[in-house]
Amino acid sequence: MSLLDIVNLNISFATRAGVVQASDEVSFKIRKGEALCLIGESGCGKSIVALGIMRLLPGNARISGKIFFNGRDLLSLHKKAMRKMRGRDIAMIFEQPAGCLNPVLSVGNQIAEAVKIHENCSGKISRQRAVDLMALVGIPCPCKRYSQYPYEFSGGMAQRVMIAMALASHPSLLIADEPTTSLDVTIQAQIIELLKNLVSQFNTSLLLITHDLGVAAQMCDSVVVMYAGGIIEKGRMSDVFKNPGHPYTQALLKAASGKEPASVKGSVPELTRLPDGCRFHPRCELSQDICRKIMPQMKKGVKCHIQKKT
Amino acid sequence: MLLHITNKKDRLAVLGMIILLLLTFIAILAPYIAPYDPVELNLTQRLLSPSIKHLLGTDSVGRDILSRIIYGTRISLMIAVIVVIIEVFFGVVVGTAAGYFGRAVDEIIMRLADILLAFPGIILALVIAGLLGSSIMNLIIALTSVGWVRYARVVRGSILSIKKEGFIESARAIGCSNLRIASRHILPNIISPVIVLATLNMGTIIISIAGLSFLGLGVQPPTPEWGIMLNEGKPFMESAPHLMIFPGLMIMITVLAFNFLGDGLRDILDMRINDIVEY
C-alpha cells in the first residue's frame, strides 16, 4: 500500500483577480521509503500541493479531493488530529531556512521544542535529544551551538537545523520544499547528500519539490512534472529523464542539459486566465488544433495529444 | 564604563540608566536620605535660600525642599511604574486579541482605540477628577484609561507582521498548537518594542503626573510631589525662584533620563538599524 495517495486534489484561491486554480486534479502516490520529486517552473503550484498535504493553506483556499496518508484521508481529519500528525508523521522543511527559525529563541531550544511537542519527555531528555539530532545533521560542536541564536547560523547550518527539527520524531514522510534553492552550490551538494543519507537511514519517504533537475535526478526514484497547476507527466525517474514524453518535459530537460542555449518560449500562464485545451499549447512547438480545444487525458504517464510514450 | 562605549547614543543610554538607578535608590531609601520630614512645617524658617543647613532652601511654610524632592521622587516613580504596568498589561492583552483573531474583533478594538486616542488626555483627567474627585487612584485611572491604547496598537502591528514570518509557518509544520505559537513564538518577539515604548512612555507619564498635580487634579497637598511643589512655588516665583527651579529641574532630569534610555534601547533592540556598520 502507498504511504501517501493523493487523488484528484483541487486547490483554488478566491482572490480579487478571480479564482486561482493552483492545483487541478493532481493525483500521485508515494510508497514507503520512496523519494518522489515534484518539478516544474516557479508558480506552477508545487508548493501549494505540499502545503495542502500539511493542511497549512491560507484561509481563502478551497480544497477538494482526497489525500490518503496510511489509508486515512487527511482532509477529513479533525483539526486537532491533523495537528498531531504534523511533525510526528509528516514533517516539512522550507526554502528559506533562516526565516523559519524564531530569532528570539536559541536554536537548540527550538529543536528541543520539536522533540517535546510529540513526546512527553522532561526538559533534560529533550535537550539531550536535540544535541544528538544536531550531531546527526552534522552541526559541529552541537553542545556549544545549542545555545546560539539563529543569526549566528549560516544558511546551510540553518537548513541543517531545520532538517534536525523535521526529523525530531522520525516522521514517515518528509516534504522538502526547495530545500537548497537559497543556498550556495557547494552547500547545496552537502545538504542534498545529508538529506539522502538520513532519508535512507530512517526509511523516510521523501516528497522533494524543486526546479533543479540535477538535484531531482540524484535523489529521487520517481518524478511528477507539473505545469500551470496540473500534472503533465509522471513516472519513474529513469524513464522520464531518459525518454521524456511531454514536450514541456523535453524542453525542461533540454534547457537543463545546457548543450544548446535553449529555453522554453514564453512563460507560465496566469492561473486566473488559463488557456483552453492543453495548458501548454501556447508555448508548444508541436501544437495542433486539437491541443487548443480539448484538454488531453493522462495516458501512460503523459498528458499530451501529440507525443505518445514509445 | 561610560568611556568605553564609543557610540554616542549608547553612552547617553548608559547615562540615562545610571541616573534612573540613582533615582530608584533615592526613592526606595527616601526616609534614610532625607534630612528633614517633608511635611513638617517650620514657620520661623520660611523661604530660606539654599544654605548648608537647607541645601535647596525652604518653601513658603518652612518645609525643606530637598526632603520634599526626595520624597517626591518616590511618589512620581511609583505612580509612573504602576501606570505603565497597567497600560502594558491591558495593551498587550487587547492588542494580542486584535492581532491574533483579526477581522471583526480587530476592527471593533481598533476603532475603539481610535476613539480613545482622539480624546485629549488632560480633559479626560479633568472629567474623571470632576466625577470621582482628585486622588492618586483617580489619577492612575485617568492616565491608564487612554494610555493602554498605544501599547495595543504597537502590539497588534507587531503581531500582524510576525504572523506572516516563516518561523510561524514552520512552527505549525512541527505541530505547535495556537496557544503555543502565541506564547512561545509571537509574544517573545513583541517584547522589545513594548519595552522601548514603555521606557519612552515613562517620561511622558511623569510629566502628566506633575502636570495634573500642578492643576490640582492629581496628587493632593501636602503630599510632597514635584507638580504640587511647582504650584506652591508659583506665588514666589520672583522673590524665591528656587521653589520652582529645583522641582522643575528634577522633572526635567527624570524625563530626559527615560528618553535617553528609551532611545538607546530602541537602537539596541532594533536589529535593522543595529546591523548597519559604516567604515
pLDDT tens, position by position, A91-107: 999 888 888 898 888 99
More confident residue, B277 or B53: B53
Cα–Cα separations (whole angstroms), residue B232 to B69, B96, B219, B247: 13, 44, 13, 11
Q: pLDDT under 70 in chain A at which residues?
A: 258-264, 307-310
pLDDT value, residue B12:
87
**Interchain CB contacts (distance < 8 Å): A and B:** 67
Q: Which of A69, A40, A38, A44 is nearest to A54 (CA)?
A: A69
Q: Find the domain containing B137 and state its range.
A: 2-30+63-271
Tell me the whole-structure pTM to 2 decimals: 0.77
**Which residues, listed in sequence order, are joined to residue A175 by a DSSP beta bridge?**
A92, A207
- Chain A positions touching B185 (Cβ under 8 A) are 102, 105
Amino acid sitting at position B61: V
More confident residue, B272 or B69: B69
pLDDT in tens, B195-228: 889 999 999 999 988 888 888 888 888 888 898 8
Domain annotation covers residue B58: no
Closest-CA distance of chain B to residue A257, Å: 33
Place of cell 521544542: A113
Domain annotation covers residue B207: yes
The grid cell for B121 is 488626555
More confident residue, A21 or B258: B258
The residues spanned by each domain of chain A are: 4-101+153-293
CATH number assigned to the domain comprising residue B132: 1.10.3720.10
Chain B residue with the nearest C-alpha to that of A167: B174
pLDDT exceeds cutoff 80 at B270? no
pLDDT value, residue B274:
46
pLDDT value, residue B277:
52
pLDDT value, residue B142:
85
pLDDT value, residue B273:
46
Mean pLDDT computed over B48-55:
79
Q: ipTM of this predicted complex? A: 0.79
pLDDT exceeds cutoff 70 at B265? yes
How many domains are contained in chain B?
1
Q: Which residues of A65-84 are buried (b: 16+ CB within 10 A; e: fewer)?
A: bebbbeeeebbebeeeebbb
Bridging pattern class, strands A18-30 and A205-210: unpaired
pLDDT in tens, A278-303: 888 888 877 788 888 888 888 878 88
pLDDT value, residue B250:
92
Tell me whether residues B185 and A87 touch, CB distance under 8 A.
Answer: no
Tell me whether residues B169 and A84 touch, CB distance under 8 A.
Answer: no
Of B103, B169, B170, B180, which to mutate for an interface test with A (greatest number of A Cβ within 10 Å)? B170
CA B168, distance to chain mean position in Å, is 33
Q: How far apart are CA B184 and CA B205, in angstroms?
A: 31
**Sheet hosting strand A4-15, strand order edge to edge:** A18-30, A4-15, A61-69, A72-73
More confident residue, A285 or B243: B243
pLDDT exceeds cutoff 60 at B275? no
Confidence class for position B6, pLDDT limits 50, 70, 90: low
- Chain B positions touching A101 (Cβ under 8 A) are 167, 170
B9 phi and psi, to 5 degrees? -65, -40
Domain annotation covers residue B48: no
- Chain B positions touching A151 (Cβ under 8 A) are 271
- DSSP-derived letter for residue A102 is -
CATH topology of domain A4-101+153-293: Rossmann fold (3.40.50)
- DSSP-derived letter for residue B184 is I
Q: How far apart are CA B16 and CA B14, in angstroms?
A: 5
Tell me whether residues A56 and B172 touch, CB distance under 8 A.
Answer: yes
Length of chain A: 310
Place of cell 498535504: A53
Mean pLDDT computed over B38-64:
80
The grid cell for A277 is 485545451
Q: How far apart are CA A110 and CA A117, in angstroms?
A: 11
Mean pLDDT computed over B98-111:
86
Domain annotation covers residue B43: no
Closest-CA distance of chain A to residue B172, Å: 8
Confidence class for position B21, pLDDT limits 50, 70, 90: very high
- Chain B positions touching A87 (Cβ under 8 A) are 173-175
Place of cell 526538559: A123
Residue B174 touches partner A, C-beta closer than 8 Å: yes
DSSP string across B192-208 = HHHHHHHHHHHHHHHHH
pLDDT value, residue B1:
47
